[in-house]
Structure 1
Amino acid sequence: MALHTWFAFFVACWLICLSPGAGAVASMSTGLRYGVLRGGWNILGLELGLVLQIAIVAAGVGALLATSALAFALIKWFGVAYLLYLAVRQWRAPTQDYDTLGDDHQGRRRGVLLIRGFLINASNPKAVVFLLAVLPQFLDPSRPMALQYALMGLTLITVDVVVMAGYTGLAARALKLLRSARQQRLVNRGFAALFAAAASLLATARRAAV
């Protein structure tokens, strides 16, 4: 991949990753509720989901999602259901004293946040089809495909980690301000509405529009 081609892809990555979506909502929600360190587990899950999406595109399976209405619908509606589940969980989330969260609580939450982040990205077929449309535009047919996909994947994941860490960190800065139960309930319900909005947007996704 030529340097100018990679740089164009690098710029495109920032535009893609900065676009608000379910991953950004999850990162802000996690940062606000659990802080930066535990928010990193959510980010790790998101990136593992992104790795899966890139691998699907590189393997050519992404074309199946672009052409099969059934495959696209099954994954899409699973994603919608999962985001609505997260919305309900966020709405009903109990208030807590952030100063008393112990190491044991943190340990139990790591796996949950990791799996949650992974499922958010892995259950978004529109993202796979989007990558299927974008990534090939930067490929050089005369060079090894695997290396180019690996380079683009590494670039996209690196940018996404920075962006999601930024969302998590900004939300975590507000954590110390949310001490009253009423404030926490309002914020939880606000993020519940955002998860529900993300589910609604995913529900409107159509293969022909990608």
Structure 2
Amino acid sequence: MSWQMWCAVLGASCVISLSPGAGAIASMATGMRFGLRRGYWNIAGLQLGLLLQIAVVAAGLGALLANSTLAFTVIKWFGVAYLVYLGVRQWRASATDVSGVDGEVAETSGPAMTLRGFLVNASNPKAVVFMLAVLPQFITPSAPLLPQYLIIAATMVAVDVVVMTGYTGLASKVLRLMRSPRQQRTTNRTFSGLFFVAATFLATIRRAV
């Protein structure tokens, strides 16, 4: 892959990561409730979901998903249901769940937060279809495909880690400023509403024909 092509991949990765979406909402909600240090568990899960999306496209399964109404619909409504579930959990989160300056919550394990992040990205079929339309533009068919996909995956993951760390870190600052139970409850319900908005947006998406 040439440097010019890699720069194009880098630019596209920045646009994709910076675009508001369920991953950004999950990162901000995690940072607000748990702090930056524990927020990296969620970020790791998001990257696993991103790698799965890239692998699906690289394996040619993305075309199947794009052309299968049933597969697209099943994954889409699973994603909608999961975002609604996260919204309900965020709405019901007690203000007393936050303890300590770094926002650690003892009863929430790191692996559970990683799984949550993974499901947020993995349950978005539109992202796979979008990558199916974008990634081939950076691929040279006459060159070995695996190294090219590995470079693209490494670039996208690196950029997304930086961006999601920024979202998480900024939200963790809110955690330090909003210490009263009423403020925490208001913030929890704001992010809950964002999850519901993301679920509504995903529910309105239709497979391109």
Write the distance in 2 (CA, Å) between the matches of 1:100 and 1:174.
11
In structure 2, do the counterparts of structure 1 residues 91 and 8 end up closer, same or farther at CA, with 3 Å as the change threshold? same
- 1:57 maps to what in 2? 57
CA contact (8 A) 2:76 2:203 kept: yes
- 2:43 maps to what in 1? 43
CA contact (8 A) 2:37 2:102 kept: no
1:176, distance to aligned residue in structure 2 (A): 1.1
Write the distance in 1 (CA, Å) between the matches of 2:102 and 2:131.
39
1:101, distance to aligned residue in structure 2 (A): 8.3
Write the distance in 2 (CA, Å) between the matches of 1:95 and 1:141.
54
Instruction: Look up the equivalent residue of 2:4 and give its one-letter code.
Output: H
Write the distance in 2 (CA, Å) between the matches of 1:160 and 1:28.
14
- % same residue: 60
Write the distance in 1 (CA, Å) between the matches of 2:175 and 2:155.
31
In structure 2, do the counterparts of structure 1 residues 154 and 193 end up closer, same or farther at CA, with 3 Å as the change threshold? same
Write the distance in 1 (CA, Å) between the matches of 2:103 and 2:87.
25
Q: Which runs of 4+ in 1 moved over 6 A?
A: 100-104
- 2:7 maps to what in 1? 7
Write the distance in 2 (CA, Å) between the matches of 1:90 and 1:104.
14
TM-score in terms of structure 1 length = 0.95
Write the distance in 2 (CA, Å) between the matches of 1:190 and 1:38.
21
- 1:114 maps to what in 2? 114
CA contact (8 A) 2:28 2:167 kept: yes
- 2:93 maps to what in 1? 93
TM-score in terms of structure 2 length = 0.95
Match runs of 1:152-191 below 5 Å: 152-191=152-191
Unaligned stretches of 5+ in structure 2? none
Instruction: Look up the equivalent residue of 2:117 and give its one-letter code.
Output: G
1:136, distance to aligned residue in structure 2 (A): 0.2
Write the distance in 2 (CA, Å) between the matches of 1:25 and 1:199.
11
Instruction: Look up the equivalent residue of 1:23 and give its one-letter code.
Output: G
- 1:207 maps to what in 2? 207
- 2:75 maps to what in 1? 75
Unaligned stretches of 5+ in structure 1? none
